[in-house]
């Protein structure tokens, strides 16, 4: 990540990261084969809402991120903002902003392989958390269904 991007306003990075992450999640949902838009939306919600992103970044900050990524995430989390979260806990909102800023910075740096690693790990973390709470994300990631079907054949 270059110096210019590292020093950008973290709110601007989060703005970009929000859009990039949303596209990745929508691609993931579409890959399930689910044709109904309302069910695709239901699948995506737990992964794009602040609480899911906050849970993911909490875990990622425990050793998955590089020192540079961790520093950026902490700077974004600690950035003072005048906006108030509408439907999220303020702490979760700040953590979600950190996650989005990280994705935005990596995107602007052209580090798509790293974005995919981080988002893949975030999906695993959020999905694991949903299973612990016994909540199905929409129809749940069909990858698991396909794996079960292939084992039964």
pLDDT at 143: 42
Whether 18 is catalytic = yes
Q: What is the mean pLDDT of residues 13-34?
A: 94
pLDDT digits (tens, 9 = 90+) for 72-103: 999 999 998 767 777 778 899 999 999 999 99
Model confidence at 6: pLDDT above 90:
no
Coil, helix or strand for 44? helix
Average pLDDT over the chain, rounded to an integer: 85
Tokens 């709470």 belong to 133
Domains of the chain: 3-148 (1.10.1520.10)
Q: What's the pLDDT score for residue 32?
A: 87
Cα pseudo-dihedral 147, 148, 152, 153, rounded to 10: -30
């Amino acid at each position: 990540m270059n110096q210019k991007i590292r020093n950008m306003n973290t709110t601007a990075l989060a703005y970009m990261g929000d859009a990039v992450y949303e596209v990745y999640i929508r691609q993931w949902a579409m890959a399930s084969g689910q044709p109904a838009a309302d069910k695709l939306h239901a699948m995506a919600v737990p992964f794009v809402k602040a609480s899911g992103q906050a849970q993911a970044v909490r875990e990622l900050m425990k050793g998955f991120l590089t020192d540079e990524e961790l520093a950026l995430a902490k700077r974004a989390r600690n950035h003072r903002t005048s906006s108030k979260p509408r439907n999220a806990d303020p702490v979760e909102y700040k953590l979600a902003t950190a996650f989005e800023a990280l994705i935005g910075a990596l995107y602007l740096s052209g580090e798509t392989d790293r974005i995919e690693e981080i988002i893949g790990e975030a999906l695993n973390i959020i999905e694991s958390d949903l299973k612990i709470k016994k909540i199905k994300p929409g129809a749940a990631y069909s990858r698991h269904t396909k794996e079960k079907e292939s084992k039964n054949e």
